[in-house]
């Protein structure tokens, strides 16, 4: 089992080198080649070399002045005192959150003006970018489901709820993002902050949440910059299960981001999985635990060969179809500048 974890961990490290990254707000928004569809008046795009899209790993993003009126209640002093956490002992299964199938189509955009013209069932968007504007409302008018991304395992000091982390134990910098720090997932204060973020998601009109950075134990196995908490697999599983139940108790669908090694043990808790570059590291077979119970795997590859080489892309898409995954080729920045779907 340890060797298996080490192999998976090595794959995750390599995926970061390819741009499979943790937090969207640590990437710089740069133009890339447009593959499809044709730009609309909603977003004009510039054509340049896709290789120019690289994550900015050591620079804090600019702090934008945005209105937080929609989440005022979730930013009040003492708001965490009112949160009563449940448990992750058994999965919460009763509720009215959206359900999906392995055939559910999707798109993913964490930076830039959201392209709302794709013929897909689900949009995955950064939650904090929805503080202003009416993207969620416009997507709902098209009968689209919106899943909102946030980091559930790190402290990001530029987020509007950063002050609520005052009692959250904060550890070392993330191995790929120096301005982002791991949090202690065994602390009830950490779970309360993340449950409060789910309340924000409800206030914003999100239909579900995507949980990122919930695999800190992996960093403790191999990274030269471990979390600082010596997280165990058992602790990570308990945290994932708890957060999944907190989402469902709010009638939110919940997606697990990466965390390949925990998939078989938490498949009953999550509604879908989101994976980056599993083909690059021969990890995609693990997701059979998700598709076998009738849930989708949203998958993305970033390698430039899938943009340039039709045969390479066709081979990847054929493997994806065999595994019943919904696969996309996208820019590392996830900025909406291009999108190639295997489902065409």
Convert the chain into a string of H (helix), E (strand) and C (coil).
CHHHHHHHHHHHHHHHHHCCCCCHHHECCCCCCCCCCCCCCCCCCCCCCHHHCCECCCCCCCCCCCCCHHHHHHHCCCHHHHCCCCCCCCCCCCCCCCCCCCCCCEEEECCCCCCCCCCCCEEEEECHHHCCCCHHHHHHHCCCEEEEEEECCEECCCCCCHHHHCCCCEEEECCCCCCCEEECCCCHHHHHHHHHHHHHHHHHCCCEEEEECCCHHHHHHHCCCCCCCCCCHHHHHHHHHHHHHHHHHCCCEEEEECCHHHHHHHCCCCCEEEEECCHHHCCHHHHHHHHCCCCCEEEEECCCHHHHCHHHHHHHHHHHHHCCCEEEECCCCCCCCCCEECCC
The answer as to whether 45 is a domain residue is no
Look at the alpha carbons of 183, 184, 190, 194 in this order and tell me if their dihedral is positive or negative. positive
The mean-pLDDT minimum among 101-105, 118-122, 174-178, 325-329 falls in 174-178
Q: How many domains does the chain have?
A: 1
The mean-pLDDT minimum among 218-222, 226-230, 254-258 falls in 218-222
pLDDT for 184 equals: 98
pLDDT for 35 equals: 33
**pLDDT class of 219 with cuts at 50, 70, 90:** confident
The mean-pLDDT minimum among 31-45, 139-153, 245-259, 280-294 falls in 31-45
pLDDT for 65 equals: 66
Inform me whether the pLDDT recorded for 43 exceeds 90: no
Q: Output the six-digit token pair for 277.
A: 């570059």
**pLDDT class of 222 with cuts at 50, 70, 90:** confident
Percent of the chain predicted with pLDDT > 90: 77
Rounded Cα distance between 103 and 122, Å, is 11
Mean pLDDT, the chain, rounded, equals 85
Which CATH number is 299's domain given?
3.20.20.70
Over residues 183-197, the pLDDT tens digits come to 999 999 999 999 999
The mean-pLDDT minimum among 29-43, 120-134, 310-324 falls in 29-43
Q: Output the six-digit token pair for 61.
A: 């993003």
Buried b (16+ CB within 10 A) or exposed e, 247-271: bbbbebbbbbbbbbbbbeebbebbb
Q: What is the mean pLDDT of residues 235-262?
A: 97
The answer as to whether 66 is a domain residue is no
Rounded Cα distance between 34 and 32, Å, is 6
**pLDDT class of 37 with cuts at 50, 70, 90:** very low
Q: Which domain holds residue 195?
A: 2-27+71-341
The answer as to whether 78 is a domain residue is yes
The answer as to whether 143 is a domain residue is yes
Rounded Cα distance between 102 and 243, Å, is 23
The answer as to whether 42 is a domain residue is no
Inform me whether the pLDDT recorded for 311 exceeds 70: yes
Residue 109 pairs with which residues in a beta bridge? 125
pLDDT for 78 equals: 96
Return all residues near 29 (Cβ < 8 A) that are at least 6 apart: 111, 112, 333, 335
pLDDT for 66 equals: 78
The answer as to whether 65 is a domain residue is no
Q: What is the mean pLDDT of residues 223-251?
A: 95
Q: Output the six-digit token pair for 235.
A: 């602790």
HSE value, Cβ hemisphere, 13 Å, CA-based, for 200: 28
Rounded Cα distance between 6 and 9, Å, is 5
**pLDDT class of 224 with cuts at 50, 70, 90:** confident
Closest of 333, 264, 267, 327 to residue 300, by C-alpha? 327
- How many CB atoms neighbour CB 343 within 10 A? 13
Q: Output the six-digit token pair for 20.
A: 């499979």
Q: What is the mean pLDDT of residues 86-101?
A: 97
The answer as to whether 319 is a domain residue is yes
What's the pTM value of the predicted model, to 2 decimals?
0.84
Q: What is the mean pLDDT of residues 296-319?
A: 97
Residues 8, 218 contacting (CB under 8 angstroms): yes
Rounded Cα distance between 120 and 330, Å, is 15
**pLDDT class of 269 with cuts at 50, 70, 90:** very high
Rounded Cα distance between 287 and 264, Å, is 8
**pLDDT class of 220 with cuts at 50, 70, 90:** confident
Whether the bond between 37 and the residue before it is cis, its omega within 30 degrees of 0, is yes
Closest of 75, 199, 55 to residue 127, by C-alpha? 199
Q: What is the mean pLDDT of residues 199-206?
A: 98
The answer as to whether 54 is a domain residue is no
Inform me whether the pLDDT recorded for 307 exceeds 90: yes
Q: What is the mean pLDDT of residues 206-220?
A: 94
Q: What is the mean pLDDT of residues 243-247?
A: 98
């Amino acid at each position: 089992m340890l060797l298996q974890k080490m192999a998976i961990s090595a794959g995750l490290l390599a995926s970061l080198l390819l741009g499979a990254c943790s937090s969207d707000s640590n990437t710089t928004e740069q133009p890339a080649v447009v593959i499809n569809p044709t730009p609309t008046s909603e977003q004009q795009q510039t054509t340049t070399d896709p290789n120019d899209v690289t994550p900015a790993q050591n620079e804090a993003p600019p702090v934008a002045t945005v209105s937080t009126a929609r989440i005022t209640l979730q930013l009040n002093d003492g708001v965490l005192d009112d949160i009563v956490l449940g448990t992750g002992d058994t999965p919460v299964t009763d509720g009215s959150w959206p359900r999906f199938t392995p055939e559910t189509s999707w798109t993913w955009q964490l930076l830039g003006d959201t392209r709302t013209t794709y013929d897909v069932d689900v949009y995955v968007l950064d939650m904090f970018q929805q503080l202003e504007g009416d993207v969620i409302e416009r997507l709902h008018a098209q009968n689209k489901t919106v899943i909102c991304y946030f980091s559930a395992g790190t402290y990001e000091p530029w987020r509007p709820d950063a002050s609520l982390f005052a009692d959250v134990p904060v550890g070392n910098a993330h191995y790929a993002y120096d301005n982002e720090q791991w949090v202690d997932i065994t602390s009830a204060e950490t779970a309360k902050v993340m449950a409060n973020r789910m309340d924000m998601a409800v206030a914003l009109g999100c239909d579900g949440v995507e949980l990122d950075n919930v695999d800190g134990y992996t960093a403790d196995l191999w990274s030269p910059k471990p979390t600082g908490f010596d997280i165990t697999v058992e602790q990570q599983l308990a945290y994932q299960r708890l957060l999944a139940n907190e989402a469902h108790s709010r009638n939110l669908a919940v997606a697990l981001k990466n965390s390949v090694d925990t998939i078989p043990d938490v498949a009953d808790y999550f509604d879908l999985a989101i994976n980056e570059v599993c083909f690059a590291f021969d990890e995609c077979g693990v997701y059979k635990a998700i598709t076998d119970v009738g849930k989708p795997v949203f998958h993305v590859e970033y390698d430039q060969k899938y943009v340039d080489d039709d045969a390479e892309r066709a081979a990847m898409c054929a493997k994806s179809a065999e595994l019943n995954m919904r696969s996309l080729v996208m820019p590392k920045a996830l900025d909406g500048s291009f999108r190639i779907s295997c489902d065409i």
